[in-house]
């Protein structure tokens, strides 16, 4: 199949466009992808390779700041198939595992090369502004009409629920786009999910985050230098991620109820939280902040469905879970790769569209549940005990490492061992029931307070 060539109507240089006071410019394309992050750029690239005319719109200009800097080993085959693995290697920090501090100043490392089914055995930490730009530029090189600083303002639907036209705006004025399929990869903006009333808060897991970049944060020794460090604190968990420019991404995920205690002193709040844990306090002793402190509110959510006639939600536009195990970029790119295949099939045989999309949603939901099960319980006393003293009975520890590496899709040998882990978790929870029950009640109370606070805020005029 021949490589698609942008027409005059879809040229990225805007030569066929008009000024801001003129009539809207009309564009026709096979696939419109909204959002130029990892999900959008991956979907666009793979569909362009299959011969479709693809228009990719990013509302900002690359490079732009984004959180979510740690990749998983299961990202590596995707990057290789895209043809960018070596470029990512050049901008990344080698990550061989994840470590979890334990009492006494020690830490346990879960090394990816011990994953049950093998695989890459490594990943990278990346500055997202560099990583996202790399993928976006690569999409353009693959024949995608990739445009920056173009904001999608609304999507009009016909009576059947199929997108009729999309209205966007760039520096030259309004664009009216007609596409056979619209992909919403707008990330947490969840453009279509919000418009269609599909987006809903994840009531199983209420959390918020405060984060920034710091210098002078010592790294682990030897092969552990590139580890992502994950610590628990009383109200959530912390991350420390070493980056290629010498800085460390540092963040605290916490309950909304706890976040309200910051009272405007954002960095002081972050440092207090970091200093409440011995492992992070020691590493942050001489740290110097570089860049602003960011805050994001309740961010675990999903959409009630993933697709409809002529449209689909990909990556964070569909669902976002707590990034505790650095799963975000992998889940987005894995979704994008599989979505491209389903969309290609739907465009070639429209009668199969609904069935293809339902099968994709079922497949992705099964894998997501594995991450969610661990995330919902990670701060519990039971999980703390199990991660502090891992044992490889029936290769269960290796299955957990496989989960941390992202190997939860089409992974039967991993999944049945994770079921055994759940049994071990339940037995351990019974043994330490009083403290486990107390922790559960505190988490539930924090979630309810967070939901009540959100409801009150929503009612305030």
Tokens coding 249: 């991404």
What's the pLDDT at 404?
94
d(CA 129, CA 244): 12
What's the pLDDT at 17?
42
Give the torsion through C-alpha atoms of 359, 336, 118, 411, to 10 deg. Answer: -10
- Report angle CA 259, 263, 265 to the nearest 5 degrees: 95
pLDDT per residue as tens digits for the range 365-416: 999 999 999 998 988 889 988 998 889 999 999 999 999 999 999 899 999 9
Burial class of 27 by CB neighbour count within 10 A (0 to 12, 13 to 18, 19+): buried
What's the pLDDT at 457?
41
Architecture of domain 93-124+203-296: 2-Layer Sandwich (3.30)
d(CA 193, CA 201): 12
Instruction: Scan for tokens 């992050």, then name that residue.
Output: 37
Which residue, among 315, 320, 312, 250, has the nearest Cα to 280 in the 3D structure?
250
Non-local (6+) Cβ contacts of 348 within 8 A are none
> Domain extents for the chain?
8-65+129-199+308-363, 93-124+203-296, 378-449
d(CA 231, CA 318): 28
Element (H, E) at 233: strand 228-233
Long-range CB contacts (< 8 A, 24+ apart) of 83-89? 83/138, 84/134, 84/135, 84/138, 87/134, 87/138, 88/124, 88/126, 88/131, 88/134, 89/124
What's the pLDDT at 202?
84
What's the pLDDT at 450?
53
Q: List, for the chain, all residue ranges whose pLDDT scores fall below the cut of 70.
A: 1-21, 298, 435-436, 438-440, 442-461
d(CA 284, CA 215): 9
Alpha-carbon distance values, 458 to 132, 252, 455 (Å):
34, 25, 5
* DSSP H helices in 316-352: 328-348
* DSSP H helices in 304-380: 328-348, 353-377
What's the pLDDT at 321?
86
User: How far from each other are the two terminal CA atoms of the chain, in whole angstroms?
Assistant: 56
Q: Is the CB of residue 385 less than 8 Å from the CB of residue 428?
A: yes
What's the pLDDT at 445?
66
Q: What is the CA radius of gyration of the chain?
A: 23
d(CA 34, CA 49): 18
Q: Is the CB of residue 14 less than 8 Å from the CB of residue 63?
A: no
What's the pLDDT at 322?
82
What's the pLDDT at 358?
98
d(CA 181, CA 57): 14
Tokens coding 355: 């069935």
Instruction: Scan for tokens 């912390």, then name that residue.
Output: 238
Count, in order, helices (H) and strands (E) of the chain. 14, 21
d(CA 290, CA 208): 21
Tokens coding 231: 């610590």
Quick one: CA dihedral 393, 395, 399, 404, positive or negative? positive
3-state secondary structure of 264: coil
Burial class of 334 by CB neighbour count within 10 A (0 to 12, 13 to 18, 19+): buried
Q: Do domains 8-65+129-199+308-363 and 93-124+203-296 have the same CATH topology?
A: no
d(CA 319, CA 314): 8
What's the pLDDT at 2?
39
Q: How many residues does the chain have?
A: 461
d(CA 195, CA 154): 9
**8-65+129-199+308-363 CATH fold:** FAD/NAD(P)-binding domain (3.50.50)
What's the pLDDT at 461?
36
Tokens coding 57: 């719109």
């Amino acid at each position: 199949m021949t490589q698609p060539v942008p027409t005059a109507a879809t040229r990225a240089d805007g030569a066929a466009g008009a000024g801001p006071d003129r009539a809207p410019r009309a564009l026709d394309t096979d696939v419109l992808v909204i959002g130029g992050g990892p999900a959008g750029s991956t979907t666009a690239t793979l569909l362009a390779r299959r011969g479709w005319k693809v228009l990719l719109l990013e509302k900002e200009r690359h490079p732009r700041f984004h959180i979510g800097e740690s990749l998983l080993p299961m990202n590596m085959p995707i990057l290789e198939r895209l043809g960018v693995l070596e470029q990512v290697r050049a901008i990344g920090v080698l990550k061989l595992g994840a470590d979890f501090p334990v009492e006494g100043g020690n830490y346990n490392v879960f090394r990816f090369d011990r994953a049950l089914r093998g695989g890459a055995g490594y990943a990278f930490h990346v500055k997202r502004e560099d990583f996202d730009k790399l993928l976006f530029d690569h999409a353009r090189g693959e024949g995608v009409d990739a445009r920056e600083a173009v904001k999608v303002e609304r999507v009009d639907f016909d009576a059947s629920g199929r997108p009729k036209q999309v209205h966007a705006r760039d520096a030259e004025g309004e664009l009216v786009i007609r596409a056979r399929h619209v992909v919403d990869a707008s990330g947490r903006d969840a453009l279509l999910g919000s418009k269609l009333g599909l987006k809903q808060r994840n009531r199983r897991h209420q959390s918020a985050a405060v984060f920034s970049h710091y210098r002078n944060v010592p790294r682990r020794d030897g092969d552990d230098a590139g580890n992502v460090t994950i610590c628990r604190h009383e109200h959530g968990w912390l991350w420390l991620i070493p980056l290629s420019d010498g800085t460390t991404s540092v963040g605290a995920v916490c309950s909304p109820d706890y976040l309200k205690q910051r009272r405007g002193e954002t960095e002081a709040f972050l440092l207090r939280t970091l200093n409440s844990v011995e492992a992070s306090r020691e590493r942050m002793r001489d740290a110097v902040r570089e860049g602003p402190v960011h805050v994001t509110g309740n961010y675990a959510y999903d959409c009630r469905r993933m697709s409809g006639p002529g449209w689909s939600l990909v990556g964070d536009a569909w669902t976002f879970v707590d990034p505790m195990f650095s799963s975000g970029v992998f889940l987005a790119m894995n979704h994008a790769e599989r979505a491209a295949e389903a969309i290609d099939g739907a465009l070639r045989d429209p009668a199969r569209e609904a069935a293809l999309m339902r099968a994709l949603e079922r497949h992705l939901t099964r894998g997501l549940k594995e991450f969610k099960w661990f995330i919902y319980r990670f701060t519990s006393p039971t999980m703390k005990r199990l991660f502090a003293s891992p044992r490889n009975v029936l290769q269960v520890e290796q299955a957990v490492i496989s989960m941390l590496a992202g190997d939860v899709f089409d992974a039967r040998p991993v999944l049945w061992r994770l079921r055994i882990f759940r049994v071990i978790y339940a037995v351990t929870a019974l043994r330490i029931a009083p403290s486990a029950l107390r922790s559960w009640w505190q988490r539930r109370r924090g979630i309810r307070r967070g939901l009540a606070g959100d409801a009150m805020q929503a009612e305030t005029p």
